[in-house]
């Protein structure tokens, strides 16, 4: 997904770290694609894909956004051809972050940068919370780590 933001690389990494610390994202989920792009509207744009190399790292009893129980993660979408079981070098197959993990990460990004938007998906924080039924609204305001600014 393409993020347009005022946040630097470090701040986007911090959003994922915070979601992990709070227990919303498993520790093995990482950026499997994090590349810089131009933006006409914001200082930064990043193409982001979250994933893991462990298909069994789901929380016990996890259900997807449709209530379907999952025992293993789904293959990660390649970004060009849909979900794929392709292997990435010696690392093996890449498995997708869950809908909930994505949601908590996106919520953290919006807490750090209320002006951010996800092209083609969420035009604002309000749009994100409306589309997700406020599932990822913990009512907290995130502040930057000491000394950091957007």
pLDDT one-digit tens code per residue, 72-123: 887 766 555 444 445 555 456 888 899 999 999 999 999 999 999 999 999 9
Q: Note if the pTM is more than 0.75.
A: yes
Whether 147 is covered by a domain: the verdict is no
Range(s) of the domain holding residue 40 = 2-131
Residue 145 located in a structural domain: no
**Tokens 């079981």, residue located:** 85
Is 137 within the bounds of a domain? no
- The answer to the question of residue 46 being in a domain is yes
Summarised one tens digit per residue, pLDDT across range 37-56 is: 999 999 999 999 999 999 88
> Does residue 26 lie within any of the structural domains?
yes
Contact 4, 116 (CB under 8 A): yes
Q: What is the pLDDT confidence band of residue 27, given thresholds at 50, 70 and 90?
A: very high
**Percentage of residues of the chain with pLDDT beyond 90:** 63
- Residue 29 belongs to a domain: yes
Q: Is 21 contained in some domain?
A: yes
Write down the H helix ranges in the chain.
Answer: 9-21, 99-112, 125-131
pLDDT of 59 reads 75
Domain count along the chain: 1
The rounded distance, in Å, linking the Cα atoms of 19 and 97 is: 13
59: in domain: yes
């Amino acid at each position: 997904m393409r993020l347009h933001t005022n946040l630097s690389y470090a701040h986007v990494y911090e959003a994922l770290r915070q979601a992990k610390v709070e227990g919303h994202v498993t520790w093995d989920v990482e950026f499997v694609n994090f590349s810089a792009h131009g933006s006409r509207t914001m200082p930064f744009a990043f193409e982001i894909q979250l994933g893991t190399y462990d298909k069994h790292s789901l929380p016990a009893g996890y259900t997807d956004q449709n209530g379907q129980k999952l025992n293993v993660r789904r293959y990660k979408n390649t970004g060009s051809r849909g979900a794929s079981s392709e292997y990435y070098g010696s690392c093996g197959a890449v498995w997708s972050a869950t809908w909930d993990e994505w949601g908590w990460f996106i919520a953290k990004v919006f807490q750090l940068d209320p002006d951010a938007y996800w092209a083609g998906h969420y035009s604002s924080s309000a749009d994100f919370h409306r589309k997700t039924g406020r599932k990822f609204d913990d009512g907290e305001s995130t502040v930057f780590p000491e000394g950091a600014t957007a």
